[in-house]
Amino acid sequence: MIRKDNTSLTVYNGMETLRIEAWGKGIRVRCVPVGEIPEHTWALDSEPPCENISVGDDLVECAGIRCEISEGRLSFIRLSDNTVLLEEPKYQWALHRRAREMHPLAGSSFSAEVYFKAYENEKLYGMGQYRDAALDQKGRVLELAPRNSQISVPFLLSSRGYGFLWNDPSIGMASFAENTTKWHTESTSCIDYWVTCGDTPKDIITNYSDVIGRPSPLPSDLMGLWQCKLRYRTQDEVLSVAREYKKRGITPDVIVIDFFHWDYQGDWSFDRKYWPDPAAMVSELRDMGIRVMVSVWPTVDPRSENYREFADNGYLIRTNRGMNTTMDFYGKMYFFDSTNPYARKRGYEILKENYVKAGIDLFWLDEAEPEYSVYDYDHYRQFIGSTLETGNFYSRCHAQMLYDGQKADGQESILNLIRCAWVGSSRYGALVWSGDIESTFEQMKIQLRNGMNMGIAGIPWWISDTGGFYDGNIDDPMFRELLIRWFQWAVYMPVLRMHGDRQPNLGSLVKDADHGGGFCPSGAGNEIWSYGEEVCGILTKYIHIRESLKPYIERTADEAVQSGIPMMRAMFIEFPDDMTCYETDDQYMFGSDYLVAPVTEYGARGRRVYLPEGKWKYNGGIISSKGEYITADAPLDVMPVFERIYDE
């Protein structure tokens, strides 16, 4: 049986119910083994008008792309030149394998695999952030699951000219092999994906941001230095750091107060023994021109003042069997359930009472995967369903908790730091950082690729811990050089933020304490003067460079809000006709005007840079390139940055 309307074609047969639908400038496909298609929107909750729709008995056309169905097999065709961009394989009789395999589970859920043909020389970009990142995802197998420093944002941009969104927050796997592409879900109620096409990568990214929603604005007063470390332990310590910066003629935009400024996890308030007057502290810092951000964890200790209320009202993630513990970190913890709208409302009320009323309007949502002590996703259950089926959605809901509350309070400038994301998180003021990563040059290279892929996947506000998070000793010459090189790179990120667990560790304030602000250890100093005068001088130089770039950063950020085009752009986004740019993974465009070439080798005082065709300003001169490699000098106090010169 076939059912048609103005935008969709639904096919019912003995194997499945399949719906093909015009959706924005693309085609949405949904499929279930039997019955009606569920109405989850997931990431596709922004519905721009469709263009040039045509629905037939075996096709749906929209905005330059056609989806055809033939013997149950789907093909996606670009109308401008009738090119097949993506298609399912034919039914393999000998293997009894279909392009859409569905395997029933309990209730209405099922596991599934969706197969597409693989194409020779195709390159695939996006998909979020992974610990062993490559820019081109072809040949890779990626887990679709949130972990500390792993962020699944399942959108692909293909060098063949299409974009593909796996619109499913379930735990799964994506395989981009030479012989096939396979998407797998462990448990879902509906196969759901969306395909678009465009003449350029920018067109594809814009079409994608149309349907998932554009990022919220990057506030102009947060574009300077953010000062952070593990961890400021007292109110006096924070104020002394701020005063020292002012003495040196530098005003950080933000000072961040990290974890265990509370008594028990889940109190979501200051331990007044060490933070006696937060409102006075915030007021003094604001008089200096500095805003305060506080870390808020979703972990809830049974001893905390909010535990009983949250447990009794179903505001905590629960386990499916055994003890109802979800994390073990300085004790048995429970996770706040951000997928529950009632929990989100109550959670923000507590944050408002304990922080916002003291003048704090910036929050750091750490542990936002959430970070289960054991990643057995089938063991946990959220308000919206099994974590196996909805686990990737948590972090987006966590960002939404703050965004909705702050918006309702009339706050105009909303940006909150968060350690995880999913498709559409950028709509909710999410500044995503890459989590707890090693302080190594190798990890710096990996983070560079992650930043480009996160932007392609629709997360334009992305940063990493400058210098990496752990194993960085402030007296180690190699680490000092790494910090300099990472800081130089961070100047050309959406936000410039110092953070890390520096060594040697300072220990706890109170010996043998078992809770409270005096209990948790702290790392060594992480201010710009903590590394000696040479390092401080170079970092100060780059802070001033950042200040000079603010008008440009503001324009580039506005472009991301208007079109979805990220600030950190893989080279091919700006130069789609230059095939070398599709291979280049160690440099990027910061907006349209600056080519940024971070130095990612210890001891390097120069590096190879690819300059696309055109004129480039560098080191006081003009370089005319025909599309070629050059060697750029890079003494320790210089990172190669080339300004694009446009012919009039």
| 366 belongs to the catalytic site | yes
Q: How many CB atoms lie within 10 A of CB 16?
A: 17
Half-sphere exposure of 569 (CA within 13 A, CB side): 25
H helix intervals, 469-532:
477-490
The rounded distance, in Å, linking the Cα atoms of 201 and 208 is 11
Give the β-pairing of 124-129 and 141-144.
unpaired
85 near 76, Cβ under 8 Å?
Answer: yes
Query: Among the residues of 491-633, which ranges form H helices?
Result: 533-563, 571-574
Q: Which of 122, 143, 237, 436 is catalytic?
A: 436
CA distance 243 to 250: 10
Q: Which tokens go with 208?
A: 């994608």
Tell me phi and psi for residue 245, to 5 degrees.
Answer: -60, -45
Catalytic residue among 186, 361, 369, 481: 369
Could you give the CA distance from residue 166 to residue 17 in angstroms, rounded to a whole number? 18
In the numeric block, which tokens belong to residue 155?
Answer: 């959108």
Q: Indicate if 277 belongs to the active site.
A: no
Locate 271 and state its tokens: 């331990």
State how far the Cα of 487 lies from the Cα of 339, in Å rounded to an integer.
36
Distance CA 445, CA 435 (A): 15
369-398: buried (b, 16+ CB within 10 Å) or exposed (e) per residue?
A: bbbbeebebebbbbbbbbbbbbbbbbbbbb
How far is CA 503 from its chain centroid? 27
Residue with tokens 């941009």: 157
- C-alpha–C-alpha distance, residues 422 and 431, integer Å: 12
Coil, helix or strand at residue 198: coil
Confirm whether 369 is a catalytic residue.
Answer: yes
Active-site entry in 192, 263, 366, 481: 366
Give the span between the Cα atoms of 456 and 448, in whole angstroms: 13
Interatomic CA distance for residues 184 and 158, integer angstroms: 19
Residue with tokens 């395997």: 103
For residues 156 and 137, is the Cβ–Cβ distance under 8 A?
Answer: yes
Tokens 């000696």 sit on residue: 532
Residue 150: which region, alpha, beta or left (left: phi > 0; alpha: psi -120 to 50)? beta
- Residue in this structure with the two tokens 């749906």, named with its chain if needed: 60
User: Dmax of the chain from CA atoms?
Assistant: 76
Within 13 A of 280's CA, how many CA atoms are on the CB side?
6
Q: Which residues are designated catalytic?
A: 366, 369, 436
